[in-house]
Structure 1
Amino acid sequence: MLEHRPSEICISSITLAELRFGAEARRSRKLHRLISTFVEAVEVVSFDQPAADRFAAVAASLARRGEPIGTFDTLMAAHALSLGLTFVTNNTRHFERVVGLRTENWA
């Protein structure tokens, strides 16, 4: 991530929800503060109708093939696809099932 300026990075509002859920589940004020600091530096992109439409298509395709990846992951992947963006994850293998999704591992 250090190779990229914050202005070049965005996260989905779905990603933020997943991060906040993790912090809340752990009851971690420290994690909440870290998340808040991070989202101040990057753009949080709202999940919109094109993303919802893409989610429906991706989720149905994965289900037909018997390769679901979970709702949160499908939502985030579909959002990246709807925006034509690269999806950054340390689990690229998991997301290979999503046709057309470009992934990178910055770990």
Structure 2
Amino acid sequence: MLYLLDTDTCSYAIRYACATLDARLAAAKAGSLAISAVTRAELIFGLEKRGNPRALSRRVHAFLDRVTVVSWDAAAADRFAQLRAKLERDGTPIGVFDTMIAGHALALKATLVTNNRKHFQKVKALRVENWVKETPPA
């Protein structure tokens, strides 16, 4: 199974000590953790916005070394477009980057790992787990 970590989860892993999240990341099978290129862009933007502080930069790049960055492709773009149109028609839009990440997860048939269920629960077809607050199944 592929787990696509959203930006909120990555930021949490980079900035805080969280036993449940750290345990899930450590227990994940090789190759099962990924982030969207969109998430990488958001993380690097955060560094640039802060002037690329050395300590934070080291933590971000150490985290990026642990995950696979999945390129944004035509399938992700198509799912994003379909999803954004549906959410807008339903009157329940979410942020553009969150919609892009959700579309990417759907295109990959991945489970999205997020600490932001409020936005992503609007995407009914999306499998979502929260590794910050939920302990792994026994």
**Which TM-score applies when normalising by structure 1?**
0.92
In structure 2, the gaps of 5 or more residues are 1-24, 133-138
Match of 1:18 in 2: 42
What count of residue pairs does the alignment treat as equivalent? 107
Q: Supply the distance in 2 between the matched residues of 1:67 and 1:6 (Cα, whole angstroms).
A: 36
Q: Which one-letter code corresponds to 1:98 in the other structure? A: V
Identity %, equivalent residues: 50
1:6-25 CA-to-partner distances (Å, cap 9, x unmatched) read 52201110010111111221
Structure 1 alignment gaps of length 5 or more: none
Residue of 58, 62, 71 corresponding to 2:87: 62
State whether structure 2 residue 107 is matched by structure 1 residue 82.
Answer: yes
Q: Which amino acid aligns with 1:16?
A: R
Other-structure match for 1:29: 54
Could you say which structure has the greater relative contact order, defined with CA pairs below 8 angstroms and 6 or more residues apart? 2
Give SS of 2:69's match: strand
Write out per-residue CA displacement over residues 15-55 of structure 1, whole angstroms, 9 at most, x where no aligned residue.
10111111221223322221211111211000100000000
Partner of 1:106: helix, strand, or coil?
A: coil
Q: What code does the residue aligned with 1:105 have?
A: N
Alignment partners' CA distance in 2, 1:39 and 1:6: 14
The amino acid that maps onto 2:127 is R
What is the one-letter code of the residue matched to 1:92?
R
RMSD of aligned residue pairs (Cα, Å)? 1.3
Q: Which one-letter code corresponds to 1:79 in the other structure?
A: H
Q: Aligned partners of 2:62 and 2:121: how far apart in 1?
A: 30
After superposing on structure 2, the runs of 4+ consecutive aligned residues of structure 1 that deviate more than 4 Å are none
